Structure 1
Amino acid sequence: MIGTTGYWFYVAANLKPNWYTLVPASLYLGFCASIIWVGQGTYLITTARSHATDSNFHEGTIIGNFNGLFFGLYALNQFIGNLIAFALLSNEGSTSSTTLLFVVFLSFVTFGAILMCFLSKRSSNSTKENKILGTDDDASESSSFNSLSRSLMSSLSDTKMLLIIPLIAYSGLQEAFVWAEFTKHVVTPAIGVSGVGIAMASYGAFDGICSFVAGRLTSVLLLLNFSIPSRFLGTSYILFMAALMGIGDGVLATQLNVLLAMLFNHDTEGTFAQLKIWQSTTIAMVFFLSPHISLQTFITIMLVFLCLSLFSFLWLTLKVGKKIIILH
């Protein structure tokens, strides 16, 4: 519930946007986002494992299904939210339409926070063991909290985590690229402020359809020689690129969470904390560097990072595959 308040205050700050409202709200949102997103990953994986155990299903299959469902709904949220933005910002961002947009978003955030009150707690294996051993839950949670910082540091000595960090960082890099660079340098000059909503709705609609390479790599290469063509062709071209990036992002987000859950099932909280640390770091770097580098320079950086991510992931695949062969 504390995690949801950050989003509420940030959206509310946009009703009166200035340095004194947006900067403190952004700082508080960063704190709250760390809570809610690490909690999301931990809760989803714990619930999936509990359901797999109770129903005697294969754990990996259930984790994949749960993550696919979550990020599918998350993509639907992007689609609907950006359609609302497109409809309300048809007056090219007038004060009244912008205010109405954030009031609508604030209502959705409030409703979402209320829904979180109905989340149920599933018993994990550690919880069951505590009950059997008679261990106090509060003491167990305190011990878990105290060991989290140590688990974060120890995970950095794990070769598998080191090999997957470039892919995690790239996932944050490509998200920030869509939010900051693509909307500012491509969508807005071509089809206006109101076009951002429809472009990002296209991004959300196709989020989670196809593979990481087929979507993301193709979109980045298309943008290297980007120039704004005629109105109709320009809009179609931008929507097509947004769809490709959405396709890549959906699969990357889903499979990355599943991969982390399967590789580091002994430390769910620490693993998803690492996920958000590296994603948030790259997102912050993009927004800080955005005013100082060109679109083509940023795209080149993304391509280099993509190659590094694919190389490290291939190395990880060979390492894990070799370990499985040895075990057999």
Structure 2
Amino acid sequence: MQEICTFFKENHLKNVIVVSIGFLLLFTAYGGLQNLQSSLNVEGGLGVLSLSVIYGALIASSMFLPPIIIKSIGCKWSVVAAMCCYITYTVGNFYPSRYTLIPTAFLLGLGGGPLWTGKSTYLTTIGNKYAEKSGKLGKDIVNQYFGIFFLIFQLSGVFGNLISSLIFSQNSTKVEILNSSAYAHCGAGDCPGANMDNNNTTEFHRPAKSLVYTLLAVYTGCGILAVVLTAIFLEGQAKEDDNRSFCTTFLATFYHLRDKRQCLLIPLTMFIGFEVAFLSSEYTKAYVTCVLGIQFVGYVMICFGISTSLCSFICGKISQYTGRTALLAIATAINIACIVSLLLWKPLPNQFAVFFVFPALWGFADAIWQTQINALYGILFNDHKEAAFANFRLWESVGFLIAFAYSNFLCVYIKLYVVLGMLIAGIVFYGAVEYLERTKTPSAGCEAENNENAIFPEEEQTKL
């Protein structure tokens, strides 16, 4: 009891909760809006195009901005400024056009790098400070902080999609169960422009403008509340001395690519972007919206969010017993089974439960990829963690960018083959990394073991 009281007195738990709720509110808005882009702004593929711009800008942001901005204004104000960038994108959706969505998408992408890096750095800093004062291990306290953060943050996928589903469920448009031939273009057979003459198109299920404006107003309010909460209640931290030159800081991400292990991990890191992009963009449009209507997208993605959250917690608990390789093998098997099934499945409205099975399984696999690959980066690159995780965010964003870029030009079955190809390539090259690590000299092996004990921010995501 005394330990709990001390925890509160130090204000560290308060700061963790503040930043966690801030991210919860921010991504309740952005996450829900991202899942709707391929269905909501379908004209000319504008919604997916804006997502491509976001991740294109995020690539540049991850390469250059985080160290420079954090060094200049500190973690707290880096996070606050980045949150403001996210709000502009929500506002741009009120009047969607190339002149509103594209610039705001670019601004959001620029803010993404400093947002996540600032958050990780902030939680690690206050965790290590509290550990030093209390005489505990820094990795244990940081682990607790990230556990609290992701426990709260993962709920954004539930709340954001629940809000959209509740609002759009008021739409007067009803989904009629038509002849099976009316859904022939849904699912893997969905191709750009192929279903424009069918009643089951995305446009047919588009909600009324008043409901769209209501949703965007709620999302904008969530974003503003996140900024106000973080700016007022989050305590700033003194900036650490950094004697590195501007050039060294600027190019650290590129220098890290000289490590062949990093290069071998690029395909698997990109795959994470591909698989998340497919579910949030292609599955929601070609399967859910095409057959059930846009009002069901939120409910389906809630299933994904709950599955990812619970499985992240489970994986963090059992990974110490099963090992990383076994969990990645399970994720690979799940993704391959889902991809093959999606290629063969002909979705119909009377198969309602099946629409929720796929996101649940996909969320289970995604939880493994996110936690275990973050852990792998943490173990392998402890001496260059900032550059390593900048590369993680960079190549994951490249995967997102490519997936969203070809979304308006390829059929869904081709996209499934692309995701499958990236998975196979990623696992093969990952195996090469494991081989290199297992064939190290004994001294190198000891060093790797020490690195594994020196856990840093992003790896804490595996310990939820």
Counterpart check, 1:296 vs 2:413 = yes
Match of 1:284 among 385, 401, 415: 401
Q: CA deviation at 1:214?
A: 5.0
27-36 or 45-54, which moves further after superposition? Answer: 45-54
Counterpart check, 1:314 vs 2:431 = yes
CA–CA separation in structure 1 for the residues paired with 2:402 and 2:383: 31
Q: CA deviation at 1:198?
A: 0.7
Report % sequence identity: 26
Cα gap change, 1:315 to 1:206, in 2 (>3 Å): same
Counterpart check, 1:150 vs 2:251 = yes
Task: Report the AA paired with residue 213 of structure 1.
Answer: T
Task: Report the AA paired with residue 285 of structure 2.
Answer: K
Match of 2:335 among 216, 223, 228: 216
Q: CA deviation at 1:313?
A: 1.8
Q: CA deviation at 1:201?
A: 0.9
Cα gap change, 1:123 to 1:20, in 2 (>3 Å): closer
- Give per-residue Cα distances to partners, 1:269-292, cap 9 Å, x unaligned: 322221221122221111111111
Pairs within 5 Å for 1:1-328: 1-48=80-127, 55-57=135-137, 59=139, 66-90=145-169, 91=171, 93-117=207-231, 118-120=233-235, 127=240, 137=241, 140=242, 143=244, 145-208=246-309, 209=311, 212-213=331-332, 215-229=334-348, 231-233=349-351, 235-323=352-440, 325-327=442-444, 328=446
Aligned residues: 311
CA root-mean-square deviation: 2.5
Contact 2:91 2:220 in 1 (8 A): yes
49-58 or 25-34, which moves further after superposition? Answer: 49-58
Contact 1:167 1:313 in 2 (8 A): yes
- Give per-residue Cα distances to partners, 1:144-194, cap 9 Å, x unaligned: 654223311211001221122222111111111112111111111121110
Cα gap change, 1:181 to 1:273, in 2 (>3 Å): same
Cα gap change, 1:303 to 1:183, in 2 (>3 Å): same
Contact 1:67 1:254 in 2 (8 A): no
Give the aligned partner of residue 131 of structure 1.
none
- Give per-residue Cα distances to partners, 1:304-324, cap 9 Å, x unaligned: 111111122222223223337
163-172 or 62-71, which moves further after superposition? Answer: 62-71
Task: Report the AA paired with residue 418 of structure 2.
Answer: I
Cα gap change, 1:261 to 1:94, in 2 (>3 Å): same
Give the aligned partner of residue 67 of structure 2.
none
CA–CA separation in structure 1 for the residues paired with 2:436 and 2:126: 29
CA–CA separation in structure 2 for the residues paired with 1:150 and 1:217: 37
Q: CA deviation at 1:85?
A: 0.6
CA–CA separation in structure 2 for the residues paired with 1:82 and 1:266: 39
Cα gap change, 1:248 to 1:310, in 2 (>3 Å): same
CA–CA separation in structure 2 for the residues paired with 1:246 and 1:70: 19
Runs of 4+ in 1 over 6 A off after TM superposition: none
CA–CA separation in structure 2 for the residues paired with 1:191 and 1:55: 56
Q: CA deviation at 1:203?
A: 0.9
Q: TM-score by structure 2 length?
A: 0.61
Cα gap change, 1:307 to 1:206, in 2 (>3 Å): same
Q: Name structure 1 gaps, 5 residues minimum.
A: 128-136
Cα gap change, 1:206 to 1:5, in 2 (>3 Å): same
144-153 or 64-73, which moves further after superposition? Answer: 64-73
Cα gap change, 1:309 to 1:13, in 2 (>3 Å): same
CA–CA separation in structure 2 for the residues paired with 1:320 and 1:100: 53
